[in-house]
């Protein structure tokens, strides 16, 4: 995998996929980032980062889609969230104990940047505005995830499936017609139910005209009803 690591052909200064936080850096600081980072490409399905590994670099998802997940007792997989481009991976872990607590794998072909960790830390300590931006983005991210999770845990299976569909529609793809990036099993892993149950509910939703379903392609027909189902648990 290390062979994939190459010097970026574009500099950070004119990167179209720069993070919100990095946008507050000045030219000199950005030069530092540029000199201490590398770009890499990953194919769909490849693992980006393994839980348990020591944090050696900050990883920034420049383009593509990934899943954040953990394995329970080496078997059952739990997907924590779908990560969109322009996101740092594993930041919360970074500032905790320096061990990555979650794994990440590419759901689409991805471009990622490895950023030197001590340089990143220096930036935080040097530039309070940068620190603040990082704080805001990790906080928001955490809050969103935790909330999604909290509410999920109170819901029955219909509510959970409805939630997941709205999640994809609103947060991930921002359209009512989309293609699930993974098989049913992983859809089930995202909402914490069995594959069979998830399947059954999807089919029920289809038969009731709430969604249109063909393989992995989904169209949300009745958002209001879905919203209601999500609310009522």
Binding site for DNA (CB under 7 A): 156-158, 183-185, 192-197, 199-200, 202-203, 213, 215-216
From the list its own copies, DNA, none, partner contacted by residue 43 (C-beta under 5 to 8 A by kind): none
User: Which of these, 90, 39, 38, lies nearest to 69 by C-alpha position?
Assistant: 90
Phi/psi for 132 (5° steps) reads -65, -40
Q: Does 154 bind its own copies (CB under 8 A)?
A: yes
From the list DNA, its own copies, none, partner contacted by residue 154 (C-beta under 5 to 8 A by kind): its own copies
Tokens of residue 218, six digits: 């989904």
Residues in CB range of 154: below 8 A, 6 or more apart: 233
Q: Does 52 bind its own copies (CB under 8 A)?
A: no
**Shortest Å distance, C-beta 152 to DNA:** 11
Report CA-CA distances (Å) from 207 to 155, 159, 202: 22, 17, 9
Residue carrying the six token digits 């080496």 = 74
Residues in CB range of 23: below 8 A, 6 or more apart: none
| Length of the chain measured in residues | 233
Q: Does 101 bind its own copies (CB under 8 A)?
A: yes
Tell me whether residue 119 or residue 221 sits nearer to its own copies (CB atom).
Answer: 119
From the list DNA, its own copies, none, partner contacted by residue 166 (C-beta under 5 to 8 A by kind): none
Tell me whether residue 209 or residue 233 sits nearer to its own copies (CB atom).
Answer: 233
Contact 80, 145 (CB under 8 A): yes
Contact 130, 174 (CB under 8 A): no
**Shortest Å distance, C-beta 216 to DNA:** 6
From the list DNA, its own copies, none, partner contacted by residue 157 (C-beta under 5 to 8 A by kind): DNA
Tell me whether residue 131 or residue 223 sits nearer to its own copies (CB atom).
Answer: 131
Residues in CB range of 170: below 8 A, 6 or more apart: none
User: Which of these, 155, 157, 164, lies nearest to 211 by C-alpha position?
Assistant: 164
Q: Does 96 bind its own copies (CB under 8 A)?
A: yes
Tell me whether residue 69 or residue 167 sits nearer to its own copies (CB atom).
Answer: 69
- Please give the Cα distance from 22 to 12 (Å, whole number): 9
Rule CB under 8 A: which of 121-150 touch its own copies?
121, 124-129, 131-132, 134-136, 138-140, 142-143, 145-147, 149-150
| Binding interface with its own copies (CB under 8 A) | 70, 72-73, 76, 78, 80, 91-97, 101, 121, 124-129, 131-132, 134-136, 138-140, 142-143, 145-147, 149-151, 153-154, 192, 233
């Amino acid at each position: 995998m290390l062979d994939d690591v190459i010097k970026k052909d574009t500099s950070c200064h004119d990167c179209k996929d720069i993070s919100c936080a990095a946008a507050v850096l000045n030219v000199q600081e950005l030069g530092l980032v540029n000199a201490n980072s590398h770009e890499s490409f990953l194919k769909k399905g490849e693992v980006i980062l393994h839980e348990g590994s020591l944090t050696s670099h900050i990883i920034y998802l420049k383009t593509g889609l990934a899943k954040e997940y953990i394995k329970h007792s080496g078997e059952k997989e739990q997907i924590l969230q779908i990560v969109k481009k322009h996101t740092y991976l594993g930041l919360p872990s970074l500032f905790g104990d320096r061990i990555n607590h979650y794994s990440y794998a590419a759901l689409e072909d991805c471009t990622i940047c490895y950023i030197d960790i001590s340089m990143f830390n220096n930036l935080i300590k040097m530039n309070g505005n940068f620190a603040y931006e990082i704080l805001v983005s990790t906080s928001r991210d955490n809050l969103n995830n935790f909330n999604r999770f909290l509410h999920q845990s109170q819901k029955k299976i219909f509510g959970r499936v409805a939630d997941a569909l709205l999640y994809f529609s609103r947060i991930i793809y921002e359209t009512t017609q989309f293609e699930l990036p993974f098989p049913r099993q992983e859809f089930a892993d995202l909402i914490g139910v069995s594959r069979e149950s998830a399947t059954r509910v999807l089919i029920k939703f289809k038969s009731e005209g709430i969604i249109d379903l063909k393989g992995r392609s989904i169209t949300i027909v009745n958002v209001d009803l879905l919203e209601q189902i999500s609310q009522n648990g």
